[in-house]
Amino acid sequence: MTKTPIQLNLRAARAKAGLSLSKTAELTGVSKAMLGQIERGESSPTLATLWKLAKGFHLPLTALIEDLAQTPETASPAQNHVVALQGSIRFRTVFAFDPILGAESFLLTLEAGQSHVSQPHDTGVIEDVFVVSGEMELLRNEKWHRLQTGDAMRFHADQSHGYRNLSDGTAQFYNTIHYPKTGVFTRPS
Amino acid sequence: MTKTPIQLNLRAARAKAGLSLSKTAELTGVSKAMLGQIERGESSPTLATLWKLAKGFHLPLTALIEDLAQTPETASPAQNHVVALQGSIRFRTVFAFDPILGAESFLLTLEAGQSHVSQPHDTGVIEDVFVVSGEMELLRNEKWHRLQTGDAMRFHADQSHGYRNLSDGTAQFYNTIHYPKTGVFTRPS
DNA sequence: AAAGCTTGTGCGCTATAACGCACAACGCTT
DNA sequence: AAGCGTTGTGCGTTATAGCGCACAAGCTTT
């Protein structure tokens, strides 16, 4: 008999707090009988009841209803996954997209004179740019912003944006893309 | 009359898909009358009904029940927020903790000979290390791992871990800490 | 103007969530 | 062994989720 996340999570929260059904009922305001029904999968709680549980245990709702799997540990050596983009811009995947964290990270290299304009991502996508070395510019809201080594910017990537390097040297930036809950299933390549 | 997240999110999902209550009922298997009740806040849907909605709209559950606020855009110049830690290690907050993304990012500087051992974070905390420059070592599972410029590692930070620089030069790394849903309320300073 | 279609709301009925309470089973104390 | 307290389950009752259907209102077509 497969158990649902709410069954497993409620039992785990209760065990972690070392509470019986009776004590949990006092803590959350949900009856002892209903708690037992939820844990045994005999009843599907309403959102109002879920809120009582979350509030009583001081947990966000997602901690009760979602399947909390584990993000694996990863080593990413410097020589990993270097690819070319559009015949010129180089990028390397530092951390591949992780569905639990909802994010992925790249190291991008802009040689002197190179530029790149990105298609807007889906609604709610947030992008971080941290300049590792060199000098570059970031296009946001039709305006170029100059960034130097150590500068960083966070912006809404669901709008048109781009990168360029007008300096004489090479620029590199560490680029993290955060996908919202609503958008993870439509992640572009 | 304040509306709950489920009211706003269901109406937004329907509007985005351009569907009437009738079409949405066909798509999700939840009756037209119930959809109206949910949107007007007249009924609290069960978890089973929420699943039908999420599945019909191809959305994760969280997208229906959580308050999806917006992460603000941020500029973080190189001279920002540089502080000393334990009288020796320098670090700068690049992106402060954001409750929506559940993450924060720092730039840490290890001078020659410096080391630092971190207390374990709460359960489920994930840490990313990307070496921006220099050479350093990362302590995980009682073992030191050597990292050079461009190397990166992702690891479970709820276990003892540390950093040290045994080289002759300075090392810098970009450090992102991801907090799990269940732990965001207990974030350490 | 009349007819037809779409949309959202309200109503009454059925199914089930949620509850209080009793009780079986178990463990601990006297 | 008897008594007491704790724990989880089951039952019957109440409240409400969820539904099909009718209908008012609005819009489009004839």
Q: What does DSSP say about strands B135-140 and B143-148: parallel, antiparallel, or unpaired?
A: antiparallel
Q: Which residue out of B14, B50, B73 would a mutagenesis test of the A interface target, given it has the greatest number of A Cβ atoms within 10 Å?
A: B73
Q: Which residues pair with B129 in a beta bridge?
A: B153, B175
Torsion over CA: B151, B155, B157, B163 (sign): negative
Q: Which domains does chain B have, with CATH numbers?
A: 5-65 (1.10.260.40), 82-186 (2.60.120.10)
Q: In chain A, whose CA is at the least distance from the CA of B64?
A: A182
This model of the complex carries an ipTM of 0.71
pLDDT tens over chain B, length 189 residues: 678 999 999 999 999 899 999 999 999 999 999 999 999 999 999 999 999 999 999 988 888 988 766 777 878 888 766 666 555 688 888 998 888 888 999 999 999 998 888 888 877 789 999 999 999 999 988 889 999 999 999 998 888 899 999 999 999 999 999 987 643 333 333
CB B45 within 8 A of CB A46: yes
Segment holding B110, helix H or strand E: strand B103-110
Q: What does DSSP say about strands A152-156 and A82-85: parallel, antiparallel, or unpaired?
A: unpaired
Give the residue ranges of DSSP H helices in chain B: 5-17, 21-28, 32-39, 47-57, 61-65
Q: Is the CB of A79 under 7 A from strand C?
A: no
How large is the C-alpha radius of gyration of chain A?
23
Greatest Cα pair distance, chain B, in angstroms, is 72
pLDDT value, residue A146:
93
pLDDT value, residue A81:
60
Distance from CA of B114 to the nearest CA of A (A): 21
Residues 19-38 (A) near nucleic chain C, CB < 7 A:
29-34, 37-38
State both tokens at A41.
């999968």
> Which one is predicted more confidently, A100 or B109?
B109
* Model confidence pLDDT, tens digit, residues A14-43: 998 999 999 999 999 999 999 999 999 999
